[in-house]
Amino acid sequence: MTVRVAGRSTTDATAGIAADILDHGLAEGLAAASLSIARRFSAGATMWCVAPQWEPHAHHVAVEFVHPVIVGKRALPAVALTAHDVVAQARVSVRPGDIVIAIAAADDPAVLDLMRRTVAWGALSTWIGSGDRPPPGAADHVLWIDDANPLAPATGRFVLMYHLLWELTHVCFEHPGLLSEDVADCEGDVCITCSDEGRQAEVILAADGPLGTALVRTATGEERIDTTLVGPVAPRDLLLVHAGSALARIGDAS
């Protein structure tokens, strides 16, 4: 049965919304994000969903991915994080290889802080929102509606966007050859490419003295680093690390 809404069938209305979204350059973004998410799920990831100002969206995204409403599709591990301090909750939940997806405005301070920490945690980040865009590089994937209306998050366009993300992720699963990423081979005891890379790290424990080392969390796990060049550090500080030493601070502590 087709339900009529404002003179159109629901199918027609949805198609109109989809065309409006995808006409604004989101098609490629959705495809790229879906492939990245499918690859993470294929490798055993859990998805963590946050929406500090619009909590129902976080629950809705988690339900979509965990509930295989299409016969034969996989149930994917997804959890909504709804604590008052969502960064602290994510810190103890997210593991290397996981996925963090946020539905929020570009000026949401908690999500801005969360997104910049996903690099140190080794998580894939996706940010869905509308209006003014986040700064470049704020997340691995930014899926945005260019609509300044503050009520935009309450419209069907947001829901449709993450429905498409969910469905396209399952489409990727139908092509197993896409699910493995090419990884550069490292030869010898030290990989020249990897050893020359600055990495983001989050401080877990500060150094216990002027000659001590700080315990930090990176995308590959915990390690000890020298913080002489940046001075005293505190837990939750973000640092740029290279060759076992902190080279610079990244932003402020949170």
Whether residue 174 is found in the same domain as residue 201: no
Residue 183 lies in a domain: no
pLDDT value of position 151: 79
Whether residue 206 is found in the same domain as residue 133: no
Residue written as tokens 């399952």? 170
Amino acid symbol at 251: G
Amino acid symbol at 28: E
Whether residue 35 is found in the same domain as residue 142: yes
Report mean pLDDT in 10-residue bins for the chain, 254 residues.
32 49 75 96 97 94 88 91 96 97 96 96 96 93 88 82 92 90 54 65 91 92 94 94 93 58
Whether residue 33 is found in the same domain as residue 133: yes
> What's the sign of the alpha-carbon dihedral 22, 23, 26, 30?
positive
Whether residue 174 is found in the same domain as residue 204: no
pLDDT value of position 8: 33
- Cα separation, 81 vs 87, in Å, equals 9
Domain count, the chain: 2
Burial class (CB in 10 A: 0-12, 13-18, 19+), 180: exposed
- Cα separation, 51 vs 133, in Å, equals 16
Paired with 142 in beta bridges are 127
Q: What is the pTM of this model?
A: 0.84
pLDDT value of position 13: 41
How far is CA 149 from each of CA 17, 155, 247, rounded to the nearest angstrom?
16, 10, 42
